Structure 1
Amino acid sequence: MTTGDGLSKAANSESIEKLAKNMARVEELSKRLADVMAQKVPHNPALDGPNQELYARAATAYWSQIMQNPAKLLEQQIAFWGKSVLNFAEAQQALTAPPEGSEAQDNDRDRRFANPLWDNNPYFHFVKQQYLTNAETIRNAVQEAVELEETDKKRLAYFADQIIEMMAPTNFLPTNPDALERAVETEGQSLIDGLENLVSDLEANNGELVVRLADESAFELGGNIATTPGEVIYRNRLMELIQYTPTTETVHETPIVLFPPWINKYYILDLKAQNSLIKWVVDQGYTLFVVSWVNADESHAEIGMEDYIQEGFLTAIETAKDICGVSQVNAVGYCIAGTTLALTLSLLKQRGDKSVKSATFFTTLTDFGDQGEFTPFLQDDFVDGIEAQVAEDGLLRSWVIGRTMSFLRSKDLIYGPAVKSYMMGETPPAFDLLYWNGDGANLPGRMAIQYLRGLCQRNEFAGEGFELLGHRLRLRDVEVPLMAITCETDHIARWKDCYRGVQQMGSRSKTFVVSQSGHIAGIVNPPSKKKYGHYTNPDLKGDSDAWMAGAEFHEGSWWPRWQAWLKPRSGKQVPAREVGESGLEPLAPAPGTYVRVKANR
């Protein structure tokens, strides 16, 4: 027996042993998969897609167009057939004369097709080109459904796009060259690891498929994220109020009370020292209080918007006033908390209460007249389904909210990560922003329905008024000096919609800013990064297009501009207030206890 034969037998023996181990893992993982799916609690099917009436209306409109103009259908079909035949002809030609390194097409626009095989291999090239042809045909058909109402057309376009993204060849092993190459390189280990990732994600979410975006083991609250020193100074059933430890000898007399959204955790504003808005505010010499909201469970089912205002906003403001010995605070609201801050300001105006000296709104919608990208989810069939599920659970569970947000960017937040995790067998990255994104919160059922029906669907706050706490709250009652920070590419709270709401507020002092980037990056934009600039324009009389046309662009973060606006509204300098000196005993060190509770999915 030669040495080569011995090595060959040893290698073959090792391969057989590895194969046997992998088969054993597949059997174990298959059992775990079956177990978790058997225990999955079914949810209302209305949460998964529109009712059939939308498709029926679309089919009726399409058929009507065919009857009126049959040539249009033939034109569409001939164009589709022509492109399909051309794709096949190119593949045939490539088989007889394989390209030696053709330049990538469309790859600079779509990262999914970055692998050279999409252009150099006849099979993959044909698959890609036919997919792009199919996608273009479907989108064109939706756009030409002229007899559909605009809302139906928007919804149809959205769901057509979801089908297109779901059917991308990169989402299937036989048509994904990256996954196939990885499987060959690793002797199938990548597929085993991917199956492990899939089963683990299902187990973590009670059978619901929620793709894990970040390596959760890489982060520790209070350890390497949410580390700004402070203490929980007050707690009730809805919130913990954190007072942060001063870093300057003196502070401004008027404290800041910051209300983050309760859809996610507050520490998006305190991920790490380098980009922490919370740390930066404290370092500028302000006494800062931040609310950390409870992660709702079934016991919170009957909590409504009025409770968030009374036990959250008003209680936090009064507590901060008492601790600091002042009569007013500067308030900040982010996203849905900004909306609720505006409701609170209307209530205070009607009560004659001047506890809020100024208000700052981060990416805040107050006029929901244009539902934007949320149009597909804010029609009655979806909201009826949410209401039915909420009636059963008492909660709007975090996975419903998270999935809805993710599907708005499904290529980047669902299918891309799923391919990497489940087909390539990769461990999710240790990325703090994605960790926060996956650390969602449940919402009390009553509050969620009030928000969806009264604000989002009926737009009552910007209209006839939103009934709450014995008052009819109106947008025009917001009269305190205000600054609104919006974000240029924000798809959740579009800056033009935020602008429309600010225009209707009654304040005589309004400052409106559009930061570059999106809902998170445009806000978490520290000056030290010198990354995103911002636009300003003091003239808010015209529409949003006129505002932007006349706006001045400024390099760098909006944070210093906000501080310059806030400083003259923050009073004289006083000795720094140490946590606990007011007589309220600290209850727990920041980041507190509520933030550590994981959502009950």
Structure 2
Amino acid sequence: MDNPSLQGSSSAYLESLMRVGEQAAKQFDEALAAAMGIEGKPSEGGPRWPFSVAGLQDHYWSPVLEFWRGFFNDKPAADGNGAAGASRGDRRFKDDAWSHSPYYDLLRKSYLSSSRQLADFVDQAQVDDRSRLQLRFYARQFIDAMSPSNFPATNPDVIRTAIRTRSASLASGMRNLIEDLQKGRITRVDETAFEVGRNLAVTPGTVIFENELIQLIQYTPQTGEVEKTPLLIVPPCINKYYLLDLGAGNSFVEYAVAQGHQVILISWRSAVAETQYLTWDDYLTLGPLKAIDVVRDIANVDKIHALGFCVGGTILSCVAGVLAARGEDKLTTMTLLTTMVDFADTGEIGLLIDQPAVALREATIGNGGILPGKELAFTFGTLRANDLIWRYVVDSYMKGVPPEAFDLLYWDSDGVSLPGPMYCWYARNTYLENKLKEPGATTQCGVSIDLSKAKVPLYLLASREDHIVPWQSAYLSKGLIGADPRFVLAASGHVAGVINPPARKKRSYWTHDDLSGDAMGWLQAAEERPGSWWPDWDAWMKRYSSGTVAAPVRPGNERYQAIEDAPGRYVKQKSN
């Protein structure tokens, strides 16, 4: 701890962690001030209070009086779905003491009641929809941070554990905190339990091409014959690719190979000093555009299948637009998993990307620099702060509980950094200005982009509970790109909805062939089917089959020869 740079980074991390509540309150105040027109240009007619005063006092005092009346009469006030009730799935107050002890019951109910009042207060704001959503988001950050379960003195489980262990839990918690100070991030998973290439990303394959941005992995066939038209997978560049290859029996890559597909996958390199100047166009040119040509060469075909996931799907859509503008017919089909092309409704994450935020990034890293992976991870964590931040603060730092071994959490903690110029172009042209959907609104790789010119059979998958890519936004892609689209809606969220192996017989998905109406109309007419959507996708892919050929004996060809075994070097490089 004598290293000055380490001390600086540790202090910065500790300060940011312990002042989350203060920052959330500040953001809420700023959003409220902006809504009132106090900052910058005043609202029309001058600053005004954006809330309806009439009825607010009654709305607040009615449940408060009911609560205290029940407390002093030893009768429980409204709970469950009432003003003082926790929402379903809220694990913060699962300890029996929160309901059986009068003291902790008082803390819980007063906190939940005040939280509900603050949320209702924000919902009554007489502001535009975006300002209301921003107010709601920042208010929730403040509410989550100030929960009594987040403080040792007001968490009965923390106190009980400290007494039972004779304070050993507190000592362990301090050690966990010191370790995380050194890392600059919260540890949420037992990082010694997993290793990429040992029990993650284990589907056999070979790296057959690399440049400064990507490695291409060609997976070893598991069938005697394979589809003649190969499949290129484009994972998101903000995450490691092995979400699609978590482990044996839990791998989309493994499944696709087993169905006879020739699978080649892009492994993105996390940004380093030598790649800090790469632009959006560089990501298209050095990434999928180059990969498509390599795959065509290796398989000796003119056209290939392509699949993109999340940001990888957005990149792939832009690549399809570039190919269409150039008059190059290189894609047989295109699959987009939980992907946005129309960024009109981006959910809560879009609230964090506004003009001042993008302008600041452009000024600092827009001409060169790196957006660290841990910053991206923290941003996504704030969308579900109770589950992804405060839960681990309590368990690790206050109770000294060792982190669990969970492959998805390990992947989620294995971040990827981005070059500043690339990120700034992406943020401005998607979340901020929503230009991708507009014909001719962007120039990429030297050509004007009109996604509707990419007439490629399209398979769209969205997840019904996705908090990163709202499924209704993913549905809109059917009218913006591709031809003869098929839309499928998976149960669960952004990750679990996609990673759902058929053998596990879990969850469900919805299908309906008529895509002429809006998203909600489609859902009302859709049929729910049990299990995984993967077989539906495979059957759709086989409709566009060009036949099968004998499986290749060795990876690559004379021009693109084996470099190293999968998973390769790039995916093992740490950004955090």
| TM-score of the two chains, using structure 1 as the length reference | 0.87
Larger displacement relative to structure 2 (292-301 or 444-453): 292-301
Whether 1:481 and 2:465 are equivalent positions in the alignment is: no
> Which TM-score applies when normalising by structure 2?
0.90
Alignment pair present for 1:370 and 2:345: yes
Per-residue CA deviations over 1:527-564 (Å, capped at 9, x if unaligned) read 00111211111111111111111111111111111111
Give 1:176's aligned amino acid. N
Of 183, 194, 202, 2:162 maps to 183
Tell me, yes or no, if structure 1 residue 160 matches structure 2 residue 136: no
- Equivalent of 1:337, from 312, 315, 337? 312
SS at match of 1:426: coil
**AA matched with 2:104:** F
Per-residue CA shift, 1:191-224, capped at 9, x if unaligned?
111111111112012xxxx321111010011111
Cα displacement (A) at 1:108: 7.5
**Contact 1:302-1:445 at 8 Å conserved across structures:** yes
Partner of 1:597: 573
Structure 1 CA distance for aligned equivalents of residues 101 and 112 of structure 2: 16
**What amino acid does structure 2 have at the position aligned with 1:598?**
K
Q: 2-side partners of 1:166 and 1:200: how far apart?
A: 22
Once residues 52 and 88 of structure 1 are traced to their aligned partners in structure 2, the CA distance between those partners, rounded to angstroms, is 29
Any conservation in 2 of the 1:33–1:199 contact (CA below 8 Å)?
no
Say which of 526, 529, 546 aligns to 1:551: 526
Which of 281, 286, 294 in structure 1 is aligned with 2:261? 286
Q: 2:104 corresponds to which residue? A: 124
Residue of structure 1 in register with 2:120 after alignment: 140
Matches within 5 A, 1:199-598: 199-205=178-184, 210-391=185-366, 394-464=369-439, 465-505=441-481, 507-580=482-555, 582-583=557-558, 584-598=560-574
Which structure has more helix as a fraction of its residues? 1
Aligned to 2:405, what secondary structure does the other structure show?
A: coil
**1:374 is paired with a residue of what secondary structure?**
helix
Stretches of structure 1 that go unaligned for 5 or more consecutive residues are 1-27
> Is the contact made by 1:243 and 1:579 (CA closer than 8 Å) also made in structure 2?
no
- Once the two structures are superposed, residues 115-138 of structure 1 have per-residue CA deviations (whole angstroms, 9 ceiling, x without a partner) of 111111111011111101110111
Change (3 A) 1:182 1:452: same
Task: Report the alpha carbon displacement of residue 153 of structure 1 after superposing the two structures with TM.
Answer: 1.1
> Which structure's CA Rg is the greater one?
1
* SS at structure 1 position matched to 2:233: strand
Matched-pair identity in %: 34
**Cα distance, 1:67–1:399 mapped onto 2, change above 3 Å:** closer
Select the residue among 31, 37, 46 that pairs with 2:10.
37
* Paired residue total: 556
Once the two structures are TM-superposed, the CA of residue 372 in structure 1 deviates from its matched residue by 2.0
CA–CA distance in structure 1, aligned partners of residues 254 and 344 of structure 2? 36
Cα deviation digits, residues 385-405 of structure 1 (max 9, x gap): 333442597011111211111
Contact 1:91–1:125 under 8 Å retained in 2? no
Distance verdict in 2 for CA 1:66–1:36, change over 3 Å: closer
Deviation (angstroms), 1:57? 3.1
CA contact (8 A) 2:367 2:420 kept: no
Compute the displacement of 1:572 (Å). Answer: 1.5
Deviation, 1:60, is: 5.9
Letter in 1 for 2:331: V
Alignment root-mean-square deviation, CA: 2.9
For the residue of structure 2 that corresponds to 1:161, the secondary structure is helix
Structure 2 residues without counterparts, runs of 5 or longer: none
Deviation at 1:287, TM superposition (A): 1.1
- Judging changes above 3 Å, is the alpha-carbon distance between structure 1 residues 67 and 375 closer, same or farther for their aligned structure 2 residues? closer
Equivalent residue letter for 1:441: V
User: Contact between 1:329 and 1:355, CA under 8 Å: does it hold in 2?
Assistant: yes
**Aligned equivalent of 1:20:** none
CA–CA distance in structure 2, aligned partners of residues 371 and 548 of structure 1: 19
Deviations 1:428-470 (A, max 9, x none): 1100000000001001111100000112211111124221122
Instruction: Confirm whether residue 172 of structure 1 aligns to residue 151 of structure 2.
Output: yes
Structure-2 change in CA distance of 1:270 and 1:405 (3 Å): same
Distance 1:351 1:432, change over 3 A: same
Q: Which moved more, 1:583-592 or 1:229-238?
A: 583-592
Q: 1:428 to 1:169 in 2, by over 3 A?
A: same
